[in-house]
């Protein structure tokens, strides 16, 4: 999946084609029936790479039988989870891989039209994806009667405008329809009534690009990698104070230690914690038992966290955990859409203010307790997962680093005062 990242010219059709591009689409369109494509992806064990980890083949099979209605396929490229940046690289350096993945998904679900929703800030990715779609259209890979298969499918690239909530699939559909991006109530699920009320399936960028390799090399090959409940490879990302930050493609079930030490070269500052999969996943302290955990869906869920997008963030000892959490809480407060009460009042109003109070040295132990209580009460009560995404890391930080909160409340200053890490 990550073969051609950073290679000069990899985003062009000529390059992609001369490296075996669109062979999988040809196979899916000409040699396989839609049901066979779905079965192949089901058999591969591919799970959604956007964070929730829902089996992709099963999701595809939820689409109702073909009738006269349009059927939409939406690619969620509104990557905005702090710590994640894999989709940006795909959009910028290998957009044809995504288009091929969408062709395969469209074949599987007999989709009539596709949308790629790219977040507004990814301007380079947007322009390259638009150019790639135009190239593909000119080459007869999009449009009517693709490759002589009789299938018609075209793609519209839509540019978002900076809202984290658009990563939630029903909010994304609202945004695409030109509405405020508030999430919708489920059911009805998108497969029943999605975009413009029609059957719709929404997949993450790397779920779709994984399908290319499943069709190319077979479900058995894909399923031979990974662990029992998590198959294939995944693009893991690592940021924070380590030697070589970036994206690494690894089989699922590789351990954090392998990613952090073997691939990323180890931390450059004394670490004290790490976030396993994007900012909304609860953090772990820097201990062997957690570092040796395999990065798959099941293990992390069992340990009270999530694989999420696979964006690991290393937190150094010198970073005050309250300050780090305030940074994240502020993020969620900014991105809360204001639809439901727990999130609007709790996440967007009370939590950031309590953190500000603590960090200003005006807090007491009661405020720390109040943060804990708020987090417990918000969890599971909000309309969409955004509020949970905010309070779960808060709960985890209190579980592992309560002493730093208490120190700050008692002394009025942080145990680890802010220092300047801006590289000269």
Partner 1 sequence: MIELQTVVPFFADKAERLQEILDRYPPEGRRSALMPLLWEVQNAERHVSEARMHEIAEIIGITATEVKGVMSFYSTYHEHPVGTYHLQVCSTLSCALAGADEMVAYLEDELGIVNGERDREGRFSIQRVECLGSCGTAPVLQVNDTYYERVSRSRCVHLVEALRRGEMPTPWRERGGDTEGQEKARPFTVQQWSDAAAEGQGEPS
Q: Which of residues 150-169 bind partner 1 (CB under 8 A)?
A: 156, 158-164
Residue 45 is a binding residue for partner 1 (CB under 8 A): no
Q: Which of residues 325-344 bind partner 1 (CB under 8 A)?
A: 327-328, 331, 334-335, 337
Per CB under 8 A, the segment of 22-30, 99-107, 236-244, 376-384 that binds partner 1 is 236-244
Rounded Cα distance between 412 and 362, Å, is 6
Q: How far is CA 423 from the centre of its chain?
A: 29
Q: Which of residues 264-283 bind partner 1 (CB under 8 A)?
A: 275, 279
- Write the interaction track for partner 1 spanning residues 337-376; mark x where CB under 8 A is met and - where it is not: x---------------------------------------
Per CB under 8 A, the segment of 33-41, 112-120, 212-220, 293-301 that binds partner 1 is 112-120
Residue 62 is a binding residue for partner 1 (CB under 8 A): no
> In the set 33, 62, 66, 123, which binds partner 1 (CB under 8 A)?
123
> In the set 29, 191, 195, 351, which binds partner 1 (CB under 8 A)?
195
Residue 113 is a binding residue for partner 1 (CB under 8 A): yes
Nearer residue to partner 1 within complex by CB, 44 or 256: 256
Taking a C-beta distance cutoff of 8 angstroms, is the pair 188, 197 a contact? no
Q: Specify the DSSP element, H or E, that contains 235.
A: strand 233-239
Taking a C-beta distance cutoff of 8 angstroms, is the pair 404, 320 a contact? yes
> In the set 22, 122, 297, 416, which binds partner 1 (CB under 8 A)?
122
Q: Specify the DSSP element, H or E, that contains 376.
A: helix 365-378
Rounded Cα distance between 331 and 256, Å, is 25
Smallest distance from partner 1 to CB 295, Å: 15
Smallest distance from partner 1 to CB 264, Å: 8
Nearer residue to partner 1 within complex by CB, 53 or 83: 83
Residue 138 is a binding residue for partner 1 (CB under 8 A): no
Nearer residue to partner 1 within complex by CB, 44 or 200: 200
Taking a C-beta distance cutoff of 8 angstroms, is the pair 126, 116 a contact? no
Residue 89 is a binding residue for partner 1 (CB under 8 A): yes
Residue 110 is a binding residue for partner 1 (CB under 8 A): no
Taking a C-beta distance cutoff of 8 angstroms, is the pair 238, 256 a contact? no
For 39, other C-beta atoms within 10 Å of its C-beta total 17
Residue 417 is a binding residue for partner 1 (CB under 8 A): no
Q: How far is CA 258 from the centre of its chain?
A: 21
- Supply the DSSP symbol for 196: G
What residues pair up with 273 in beta bridges, in sequence order?
285, 315
Nearer residue to partner 1 within complex by CB, 126 or 405: 126
Tokens of residue 333, six digits: 């407060």
Q: How many helices (H) and strands (E) does the chain have?
A: 18, 9
Smallest distance from partner 1 to CB 48, Å: 19
Nearer residue to partner 1 within complex by CB, 81 or 296: 81
Residue showing tokens 């894999």 = 86
Taking a C-beta distance cutoff of 8 angstroms, is the pair 285, 276 a contact? no
Smallest distance from partner 1 to CB 242, Å: 10
Rounded Cα distance between 260 and 324, Å, is 20
Tokens of residue 346, six digits: 């709790």
Per CB under 8 A, the segment of 4-12, 52-60, 213-221, 293-301 that binds partner 1 is 4-12
Residue 232 is a binding residue for partner 1 (CB under 8 A): no
CA angle 276, 280, 285 (to 5 degrees): 40
CB neighbour list of residue 334: distance below 8 Å, 6 or more residues apart: none
């Amino acid at each position: 999946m990550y073969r051609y990242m950073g290679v000069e010219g990899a985003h062009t059709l000529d390059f992609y084609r001369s490296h075996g591009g669109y062979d999988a689409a040809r196979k899916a369109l000409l040699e396989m029936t839609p049901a066979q494509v779905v079965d192949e992806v089901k058999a591969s064990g591919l799970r959604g790479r956007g964070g929730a980890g829902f089996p992709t083949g099963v999701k595809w099979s939820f689409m109702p039988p073909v009738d006269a209605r349009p059927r939409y396929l939406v690619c969620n490229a509104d990557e905005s989870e702090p710590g994640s940046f894999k989709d940006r690289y795909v959009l910028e350096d290998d957009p044809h891989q995504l288009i091929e993945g969408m062709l395969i998904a469209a074949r599987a679900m007999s989709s009539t039209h596709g949308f790629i929703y790219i977040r507004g800030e990814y301007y380079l990715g947007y322009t390259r994806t638009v150019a790639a779609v135009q190239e593909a259209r000119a080459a007869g890979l999009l449009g009517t009667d693709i490759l002589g298969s009789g299938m018609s499918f075209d793609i519209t690239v839509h540019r978002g405008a900076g809202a984290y909530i658009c990563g939630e699939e029903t909010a994304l559909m609202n945004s695409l329809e030109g509405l405020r991006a508030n999430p919708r109530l489920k059911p009805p699920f998108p497969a029943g009534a999605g975009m413009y009320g029609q059957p719709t399936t929404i997949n993450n960028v790397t779920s779709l690009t994984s399908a290319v390799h499943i069709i190319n090399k077979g479900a058995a090959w894909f399923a031979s990698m990974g662990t029992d409940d998590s198959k294939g490879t995944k693009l893991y990302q690592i940021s924070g104070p380590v030697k070589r930050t970036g994206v690494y493609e690894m089989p699922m079930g590789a351990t954090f230690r392998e990613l952090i030490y073997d691939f990323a070269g180890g931390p450059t500052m004394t670490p004290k914690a790490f976030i396993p999969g994007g900012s909304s996943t609860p953090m772990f302290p820097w201990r062997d038992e957690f570092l040796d955990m395999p990065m798959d869906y099941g293990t992390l869920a069992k340990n009270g966290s999530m694989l999420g997008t696979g964006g690991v963030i290393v937190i150094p000892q010198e970073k005050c955990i309250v300050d780090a959490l305030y940074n994240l809480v502020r993020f969620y407060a900014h991105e809360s859409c204001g639809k439901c009460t727990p999130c609007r009042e709790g996440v967007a109003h009370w939590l950031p203010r309590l953190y500000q109070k603590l960090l200003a040295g005006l807090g007491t132990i009661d405020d720390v307790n109040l943060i804990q209580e708020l987090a417990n009460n918000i969890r599971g009560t909000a309309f969409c997962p955004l509020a949970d995404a905010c309070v779960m890391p808060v709960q985890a930080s209190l579980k592992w680093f309560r002493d730093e909160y208490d120190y700050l409340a008692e002394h009025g200053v942080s145990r680890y005062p802010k220092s300047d890490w801006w590289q000269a």
